[in-house]
């Protein structure tokens, strides 16, 4: 009881006017200590609230499903884009297309003209020989030569030159009798003349214009020309033909 009275007296002291004054007003140190205790209490409460909030947030995060982390992006390169290889390209299943090829037809190449003619002659040798024989007989008929005379006719300028080679002397026979003179020497035993008989019953063809010949006891070569040219060039051409045929009669 005495303690209570003393305490009451300490807390509420009586001032000179008879009024009570709080002891805290008169004791600054005590008020400061009270403020410090109050601040410490507030700070502790704030820390406690912060810790409680952190725990609540962590519990809520743990209850939410974890989202997958985004995949790392591939680094960009500056290499040029290349066409996909067969291994990288996804296989595409397609129905195979059936191609029907036409049966090849073999075509024989066209034979050359010369080969065709040779084949024609080989296919019908009798007909070819008959035509050649007929031509020779016609020429023999025109020039009135015997069977022992080889005849070759070839073109010359605007006419022909006919070569007659015989394994005998034809001097005095019908062919050389067409010459109206003994002829002019042209070298190597060859003689030529332009003075010829044009009797129609002797030769139905073009009239001869030049005749050159060379004779011996065992062989003779005569060239009869129907070309309009009878000068030195024609004589030289006739003499050349005689020189070519003469050794063939040996």
Query: Looking at the domain assignment, is residue 203 inside a domain?
Result: yes
Q: Which two tokens stand for residue 205?
A: 């063809």
Helix axes 125-143, 113-123, angle to 10 degrees: 90
The pLDDT of residue 116: 54
Q: pLDDT tens for residues 207-226?
A: 889 999 999 999 999 999 99
Cβ proximity of 225 and 159 under 8 Å:
yes
97 phi/psi in degrees, rounded to 5:
-90, 125
pLDDT: is 152 or 95 the higher one?
Answer: 152
Q: Tell me, yes or no, whether 179 lies in a domain.
A: yes
Q: Which of 233, 179, 182 is nearest to 208 (CA)?
A: 179
For residue 90, what are the CA distances in angstroms to 82, 95, 96? 16, 16, 17
Three-class SS state of 66: coil
Does residue 224 belong to any structural domain of this protein?
A: yes
For the chain, percent helix, then strand, then coil, each to nearest 5? 40, 20, 40
Question: Residue 46 falls within a domain, yes or no?
Answer: no
* pLDDT in the model for residue 23: 47
Structural domain range at position 170: 145-249
pTM for this structure?
A: 0.43
Sign of CA dihedral 123, 126, 132, 134: negative
Answer yes or no: is 212 within a domain. yes
The domain tally of the chain equals: 1
- The predicted pLDDT at position 12 comes to 45
Cα(178)–Cα(199) distance, integer angstroms: 9
Q: At 108, list the tokens.
A: 């024989």
pLDDT at 5: 44
> Comparing C-alpha atoms, which of 212, 214, 225 is closest to residue 249?
214
Please report whether residue 169 resides in a domain: yes
Query: Is 148 in contact with 140 (CB distance < 8 Å)?
Result: no
pLDDT in tens, 170-212: 898 888 888 999 999 999 999 999 999 876 555 567 888 999 9
Per-residue pLDDT tens digits for 119-136: 555 555 577 666 655 655
For position 223, what pLDDT does the model report?
Answer: 96
Mean pLDDT of 40-69: 67
Question: 87 in a domain, yes or no?
Answer: no
Is the residue at 172 inside a domain?
yes
């Amino acid at each position: 009881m005495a303690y209570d009275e003393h305490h009451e007296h300490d807390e509420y002291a009586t001032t000179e006017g008879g009024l009570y004054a709080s002891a805290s007003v008169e004791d600054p140190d005590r008020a400061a200590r009270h403020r410090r205790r109050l601040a410490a209490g507030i700070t502790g409460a704030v820390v406690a609230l912060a810790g409680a909030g952190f725990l609540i947030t962590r519990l809520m995060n743990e209850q939410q499903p974890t989202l997958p982390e985004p995949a790392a992006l591939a680094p960009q390169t500056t290499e040029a884009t290349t066409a996909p290889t067969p291994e990288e390209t996804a296989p595409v299943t397609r129905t195979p297309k059936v191609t029907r090829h036409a049966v090849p037809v073999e075509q024989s190449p066209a034979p050359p003209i010369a080969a065709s003619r040779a084949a024609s002659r080989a296919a019908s040798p009798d007909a070819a020989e008959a035509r050649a024989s007929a031509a020779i007989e016609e020429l023999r008929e025109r020039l009135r030569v015997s069977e022992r005379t080889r005849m070759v006719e070839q073109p010359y300028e605007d006419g022909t030159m006919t070569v007659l080679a015989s394994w005998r002397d034809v001097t005095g026979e019908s062919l050389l009798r067409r010459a109206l003179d003994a002829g002019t020497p042209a070298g190597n035993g060859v003689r030529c003349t332009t003075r010829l008989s044009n009797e129609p019953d002797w030769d139905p063809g073009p009239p001869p214009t030049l005749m050159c010949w060379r004779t011996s006891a065992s062989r003779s070569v005569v060239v009869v020309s129907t070309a309009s040219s009878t000068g030195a060039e024609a004589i030289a051409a006739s003499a050349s033909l005689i020189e070519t045929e003469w050794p063939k009669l040996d």
